[in-house]
Each structure stands twice: as structure tokens, then as C-alpha cells.
Amino acid sequence: MSGHGRARRWSVVVALVAVLCALPAVVAALPADDTDVPAADLRDAVLASAGVGFSGYAVSAGGLSLPVTDQLPAVADLLSDRIQLRVWWRGADEHRVDVVTAAGETGVHVDPAGTWTWEFESATAERSGPAPLRLPGPPDLVPASLGRRLLSEAADGELSRIGARRVAGRDALGLRLVPDAAASSVARVDVWADAATGLPLAVEIVAEGGSTPALDTRFLDLDLAVPPAGVVAFTPPPGARVREVRDPGGLLREAADRDLAPVRLPVELAGLARRDVAGAPAAVGLYGSGVTLLAVAPVPGRFAADLRSALAAAPGAVTDALGTRITAGPLGLMLVEPRGSGAYVVTGTVTPDALAEAAAALTQAPS
């Protein structure tokens, strides 16, 4: 009987463990309470959530197969893989995002004066200052910051409500953005915002012609409390290699700062108006608004040759008289090399036809 009693006791323990392990999935499957908040009001609540502090654990899954070049390896990895994000967020200019992959761990610490990037395995700390133009980084994939960015210029007519769901154990209200711009390669953006604070908890981006998200980022766990300043701050530990990043502006800044012939970019490309970016180099053009953006910059010959080879080797690459271009989900990337002048890199969330139209206009632009 004693053996039988022990077996029963263990069966109860096993059952309890099974129930505890299943709780996160059960909570996520619980129906979420929806409200009749209008789409435009929910957008406003999302944008007003910038002051909400939090910490949590998120995952981001990207399906953007970008070519790997000397200038783009980190971006290609960031937007092509499934990554884990540990986040401590005190504000837009004070936060920490740790990226955890099978290859190791990288911490990005942002403060008002710039950014520390800490490579744990190599014990290397990089310091860079603020920049008006830069390549995407881990903080850009945090659902809260990405959701606000994507909705920041959304017009009322582009928005609709899509019900509610449970995200990270919280009721999240759904908001869909369908861009109006004809040149847009984005079919829709779905943002799921915390019903209590407006904080975006999950974001899905679907490309034109796609059925699954090209980018899907969401919280799995979330604590809506401001994390301590000491958790976010960073000081290089003794023995660490420390180096300054000369070009915090990223690829486009590097291209524009080179000794290149000045160009006169048009005021409109592919039906998208040029916009002003404070502090951006004059040689760089940014066009469009909302989720439909197109960037243009002249590039030096060495970089052009590297990018040309990488693009030509990518699946689905198109090479014609205008240049070489690829698409990766909603993102288009093209190298334009007009005869008798330097090369341009053209990239953005626009259709292949819009890329070609922009390339044709650039080949005719006066220098």
C-alpha cells in the first residue's frame, strides 16, 4: 500500500507540474476583452505610450533574405533570423536591449549621449553618438518602438480595428494599417496594443502578395514598471576592448560623406515627395511617409562593386539597363549605375516597379 500511495503522490506532482507548464499557453489562449475604441483613437493611444516604462522578453522573426556584404552583415542577420530580445526601457533615449542568439549575446545600451554596444563573447564595447540616419538595430525591433514608428504618420483613412487578442498575458487591441500610397510594397501592418496603456505588444508586417508576416515581433513576457537606471546604464568592464564607431550614421551616411561628385536629387521619386531630415547629409534623399519610404544615396566605386556582386547572386535578382535590384519581403534594394556618373543605392518599402521608376529618374537627374 505504501508503494501504491507513493505512486499516487507522484502522479499528483506530475499532474501539477504539467498544469504549471501549460499555464502560459492557457493564458495566451484565453479570450481577450475587446472595446469599441475607434481606430484613430487607438492610434493616438499608441503614440501617447512613449512615456511608458517597462521590461520584458520578446521574440522577433524576420523573413527578409538580404544579401550579405561587408556593410550589411548585422542588418541581414537582424531581419532574416529569429532572435530573442531582453528589454529594459526607461524611455526613447534611455534603454537597453540584449540580443540572444545561438552564436552569443550582444547588449545595446542607449543613453542621451549615444549608444554602447557590448559584444559579450569578444569583450568588445563600441561607442557611437546620435545620428539622423542609421541602419536598423535591435531597439528598432522591440514591439513598442516599432509599433509607434509604423503608426506615427498613419492617416485616419488607412486604419481599421481588427478585434483583440491576448499578448504576454494582457488584453491587446488590434489595429490594422493599410497604406494608401500606390508605390507601397506593404500590404498591411497589424499592431496589437495594450488595452490599458496603449503600449504596442505585437507587430506583424505583411508584404504585397504575401500570406505570412515578413516581420513578426511580439512580447512573451512584460512587466509594466520602470526598470532601475543601473540596469540600463553601461560602463566598459576592466580589460574590455573599447573603440569609437567613426560612422554612427550607418551605410547611407558613410556613402554620402565620401568624396563623391555632388548630385541634384529630384523633389519627387516614384510619386513620393522628398522629405526633410534634420542633420542628414545633403547628398542623401528620403522620400515618402508612413510605412512607404524610399532612400537614395550616392556610393563609392568600391562599395558599388561589392553590392553589385551580392545583389546579382541573390535569388530573384533582376539586372537590366537601369541596374540590379532585389526584393526581400516588402523591402526593395537596388544599385543604380548611370553611365558617366557615380552609382546610387536605392532602398525602401516600395514595389519593384517603383524602384525601377526611381532608377529611371535618377539616370536622368542633372549632376
Q: Determine which helix (DSSP H) or strand (DSSP E) holds 106, and give its type and residue range.
A: strand 104-111
**CA distances in angstroms from 271 to 150, 287, 293, 326, 338, listed in the order given:** 20, 9, 11, 20, 21
Task: Give Cα separations from 144 to 53, 224, 284, 361 (angstroms).
Answer: 10, 12, 28, 37
Q: Give the C-alpha separation, 311 to 16, whole Å.
A: 54
pLDDT of residue 11: 54
* Residue ranges of domains in the chain, CATH in brackets: 29-244 (2.50.20.10), 250-364 (3.30.200)
How confident is the model over 82-105, as a mean pLDDT?
Answer: 91
How many beta carbons lie within 10 A of that of residue 49, not counting itself? 18
Contact 141, 75 (CB under 8 A): no
Name the phi and psi angles at 310, rounded to 5.
-65, -40
Q: Report the pLDDT averaged over residues 221-237.
A: 96
The residue count of the chain comes to 367
Residue 22 has pLDDT above 50, yes or no: no
User: Could you report the per-residue pLDDT of 291-316, keeping only the tens digit for each?
Assistant: 999 999 888 877 888 888 888 888 88
pLDDT, residue 26, reads 45
Residue 29's pLDDT band (boundaries 50, 70, 90)? very low
Entry pTM: 0.84
pLDDT at res. 130: 81
**What is the chain's mean pLDDT, rounded?**
83
Least reliable range by pLDDT among 119-128, 243-252, 348-357: 243-252
State how far the alpha carbon of 147 is from the alpha carbons of 177, 183, 191, 265, in Å: 11, 21, 6, 31
pLDDT of residue 25: 45
Compute φ and ψ for 93, nearest 5 degrees.
-110, 20
Instruction: Give 34's DSSP letter.
Output: P
Residue 171: pLDDT above 80?
A: yes
